[in-house]
Amino acid sequence: MTVTPALGDVRVVDLSRVLAGPYCTMMLADLGADVVKIERPGEGDETRTWGPPYAGGEAAYFLAVNRSKRSVAVDLKQPDGRALVLELCARADVVLENFRPGAAARLGLDSAAVRERNPGVVYCSISGFGRREPRDRPGYDFVVQAESGLMAITGEPDGPPTKVGVALVDVVTGLHAALAIVAALRRRDATGVGERIEVSLLDSAFSALVNVAQNALVTGEEPARYGNAHPSIVPYQPFLAADGWVAVAAANDGLFVRLCDTLGRPELAADERFATNAARVRNREELLPLLEDVFATRSAEHWVTALDAAAVPAGKIRGVLEALRAAAPATVRVQHPAAGDLELVAPPFAFESASLRPAAPPPLLGRHTREVLSELGIEAARIAELEKRGVIQSSP
């Protein structure tokens, strides 16, 4: 029996660039969708140049979020280019864009224009700040981390506000967009009715603040920074062992008892200052030095092994490359036309009965221009003429 990907019959026209939109469409491509990535001739998605590092002339940043897509290079400043892309959108199941607000309408590629040609399309727009004024404000992850409060709660208590080490708001926004698109496709398949979706970085950041945002709403107070500690759970933080760091998540009283037994300090769990999580939160400044002294006596590997045996959640703090190697298989290999044998992070999900699309290399700029335009029924002579005029660009 042939097993097909879950989204194997879905065509996506991806007008987005940088991270949130491309991350969304990469997830859809992993699930089987045919993702056609529209890029500017000559330049392409700006992340193609966001390096070093590079592999085969392609920035690692671009390679990270564009596997399994087809690249079509079209100049949207030219009427013929816009007409080509509109025709692609007219035949798509999903259109995704993250232009600055108003730009899609000026190009004649907004939801109204596309849905006039394709009423059943799921059209998703990603913006920085949604419908808040000013509407044309550009949205960047770093700025939204600042504006959302995420930076204010990140960092050491006596240090400055700090951004998260990856563009997490972009990633979460991409996931939110993918979820909304799949939901809209399910409804479209049942009713024939398309959908207009809006996802903003700011609202995604608020959603990702979860308990911290709710704490602020309940108390009416600004949350404090706790560094690597937790505002509501103790101990839930890293401890320095003799040769490295160990992250410990004793998230309830039972786990704390097992932690203390493993550390050889069972009396701490019986101490009324530390017997309950609420008490430990109140008395963290007294408890933590006692735990730190014990962790410093043995290696990180010793403590992780011992805590694992006691079913206490714990892990060694690893570097990124170390973690990818320790958790193998966490990557896939593809043959890239410029970089050769290329290792990528693997898709994060697996299905029991459906399949994922086999990973394909992130495309060279314009790699599929001729192929995709031929699928529209455009003859080779016309494609060559468009390329000569700079409306499109193709690569071998």
Per-residue pLDDT averaged across 292-315, rounded?
Answer: 97
Q: What is the mean pLDDT of the chain?
A: 96
The share of the chain scoring above pLDDT 70, in percent, equals 99
Q: Answer with the residue of higher pLDDT: 137 or 144.
A: 144
Indicate the pLDDT class of residue 1, thresholds 50, 70 and 90. Answer: low
Q: Are 18 and 47 in contact (CB under 8 A)?
A: yes
Catalytic residue among 136, 170, 253, 271: 170
d(CA 274, CA 278) in angstroms, rounded, equals 8
Quote the pLDDT of residue 374.
Answer: 97
pLDDT in tens, 101-130: 899 999 999 999 999 999 999 999 999 999
- Our answer to whether residue 141 is catalytic in this structure is no
Per-residue pLDDT averaged across 145-152, rounded?
Answer: 97
Quote the pLDDT of residue 10.
Answer: 97
Quote the pLDDT of residue 136.
Answer: 82
Quote the pLDDT of residue 181.
Answer: 98
Quote the pLDDT of residue 38.
Answer: 98
Quote the pLDDT of residue 310.
Answer: 97
Indicate the pLDDT class of residue 396, thresholds 50, 70 and 90. Answer: confident
Per-residue pLDDT averaged across 176-180, rounded?
Answer: 98
Quote the pLDDT of residue 55.
Answer: 96
Half-sphere exposure of 299 (CA within 13 A, CB side): 3
Nearest to 124 by CA among 180, 80, 206: 180
pLDDT higher than 70, residue 346: yes
Quote the pLDDT of residue 138.
Answer: 87
Q: Read off the pTM.
A: 0.93
pLDDT higher than 70, residue 311: yes
pLDDT in tens, 205-259: 999 999 999 999 999 999 999 999 998 999 999 999 999 999 999 999 999 999 9
pLDDT higher than 70, residue 2: no
Quote the pLDDT of residue 248.
Answer: 98
